[in-house]
Every structure is written in C-alpha cells, then in structure tokens.
Amino acid sequence: MTHIPYIIVLGNEKGGTGKSTVSMHLITSLLRQGYAVGSIDVDARQGTLTRYVENRTLRKNAKQQDLPLPTHIPLFKSEMGDRTQAEADEQTRFDQTINNLKDMDYIVIDTPGSDSYLSRLAHSYADTLITPLNDSFIDLDMLVRVNSDSLTIVKPSTYSEMVWDQKKQKAIRSGGSIDWIVLRNRLSSLNSRNKEEMEKVLGALSKRIGFRTLPGFGERVIFRELFLSGLTLLDMRENNMTMSLSHIAAKQELASLMDMIQLPKTQKKAAKVG
C-alpha cells in the first residue's frame, strides 16, 4: 500500500489568531512523538512559520540543544501576471512540494490570513483543518453573519463557503473528507455571558456547516516570547529551562488539544516495516 502523509492545515482569513503558533506546537509535538514531519508555509511572504523554524534552527546550532526540526518548505505566490498561468504555476509547485514530502508521516501547512489560490489549494488537501479563532464576535464574523439582536445565523461567511467548496474539491479529487476543527483561543478574555453567546452561535453553526469546536490556548505572553528563540512549550523542560505556573498551564492546554484533535496513530515511522 502506498504511503500517504496525513495533512493538517491551519487556516482562516484573519490574521492574529495564532495559526503559526499552533502550527509550530503541533509540529514539535508530532516530532517529539517520533513522527517524520514536513511543514509548508504558503504564507511565505509574511513567513511567520518560516521565521519560527529559522529561529529554531539557529538556536539548535548555536546552543547544541535537542530541538527536533521539520522538513520545511516555504511556498511563494506566483509572480506571473496572467491569472490562469499564475494559478497553473502555483498548482505545479504545490504538487511538487507535496511530492517532495511524500515520505513524511504528517505535513502541517500554515496559510495566510487572506484569500489566495494557494490557500484554497492547501485547504482542499487537508485531512484535518484547524481554524484558530479568537473568542470574540469580531472574529466570529469570519465564519458567520449573525443578527445583532437575536444572535440567530443569517448566513455563513465567505470563508465558511470557501471551506465548503474545498471539501467538495477534495471529495471529487480523492473521495476523501476534511475533519474541520474551530479552535477557540483566548477564552479567558471574555466574560461568562459572551462565552455562552459564542457557544450558542458556534453550536448552531457547527451543525449547519460541519465543524467541531475545541478549546485552544489562553492569552499568554509566553507564546510571543518563545517565537523569538524558536522554542515551544515542549522544549523547555527538555532543555533544563525553568517553567512557571503559566508555562505548565499552557503545556496542559497543548496536551489536551493534541488528544482532542484525534490525529491517526497509524502513521508512525517506527511502526512501519520496509
């Protein structure tokens, strides 16, 4: 049977929701479990995930620390002026990138906070799609339009419709499906009434367009600090770094998230023969 990597896409069409932070922690968690992991940054112009990996590589080399690294590939938008030619070029380079990572167990793809052909293409290849969402009605607008008085759903947003279209593209291409997860970040920043209202709207929407919701990361300064050094929460104890109560709580959030995502465990290289 031909080995096919399991593809995890981090996506939405809004910046500042923690896609790259979640991506790097997913990557490191899988690496430390013994999996071979490839990563693709299709937001290569901004390149947050790419810089995270670069920072990690620099620290690993400078400090001689135990920092497992993914096989990372940044993927830029085509510079061709003609739209049809540009999309064909991006399709070719995306397919080649996936092929270059064909021996990986998992591929994690970080996408931009805006619509693009490369982003849509990446979404259509997802086995699991994770959409980090700051737990606020401003960010919820990315998924759905709601009535301001009754909080009833008016219609799914452009992004939700795009995901639905890419689900259909994947089904046509391979017969596969996408497990769509909306990750509610920064839960502690809302009062209890807002949380209840968000849960009500997301619960109704999840049934309508087909996703499941999970709690993500709280608002913690530690994530911004770790980026500069290329580290994740999973690297601190292994590198004899002091962990505060905030670090420990955030690490527990990550462990819970990894369990609830329910990634397949059959991919492990160590379990393969030949």
Q: What is the extent of the structural domain holding 112?
A: 6-262
Any domain includes 272: no
Q: Which of 104-108, 211-215, 262-266 is predicted with the least confidence, judged by mean pLDDT? A: 262-266
Q: What is the mean pLDDT of residues 233-259?
A: 82
State residue 268's pLDDT score. 62
Q: How far is CA 136 from CA 22, 52, 114, 156, in A?
A: 18, 26, 19, 16
Q: Which residues contact 208 (CB under 8 A, 6 or more apart)?
A: 153, 156
- Alpha-carbon Rg for the chain in angstroms: 19
Any domain includes 163: yes
* DSSP secondary structure code for residue 190 in this structure: S
Return the number of other C-beta atoms located less than 10 Å from residue 71's C-beta: 15
Any domain includes 274: no
Any domain includes 1: no
State residue 269's pLDDT score. 57
Any domain includes 147: yes
Q: What is the pTM of this model?
A: 0.90
Q: Which of 35-39, 53-57, 174-178, 236-240 is predicted with the least confidence, judged by mean pLDDT? A: 236-240
CATH of the domain at 119: 3.40.50.300
User: Which is it for the CA torsion 208, 212, 218, 219, positive or negative?
Assistant: negative
State residue 139's pLDDT score. 77
The chain-wide mean pLDDT, for the chain, equals 86
Most confident of 8-12, 194-198, 212-216, 269-273: 8-12
Q: What is the mean pLDDT of residues 197-225?
A: 79
Any domain includes 32: yes
Query: Per-residue DSSP letters for 72-129?
Result: EEE-PPP--SSHHHHHHHHHHHHHHHHHHTTT-SEEEEE--SS--HHHHHHHHT-SEE
Any domain includes 269: no
State residue 76's pLDDT score. 92
State residue 219's pLDDT score. 62
Is residue 109 within 8 Å of residue 122, measured between CB atoms? yes
Is residue 9 within 8 Å of residue 109, measured between CB atoms? yes
As a whole number of angstroms, the distance between CA 44 and CA 247 comes to: 29
Query: What is the number of structural domains in the chain?
Result: 1
- Comparing 96 with 193, the larger pLDDT belongs to 96
- Comparing 202 with 108, the larger pLDDT belongs to 108
State residue 245's pLDDT score. 81
Residue 2: band (very low, low, confident or very high) from pLDDT cuts 50, 70, 90: low
State residue 240's pLDDT score. 72
As a whole number of angstroms, the distance between CA 126 and CA 10 comes to: 9
Return the number of other C-beta atoms located less than 10 Å from residue 207's C-beta: 9
Cβ burial, residue 190 (10 Å; 0-12/13-18/19+): middle
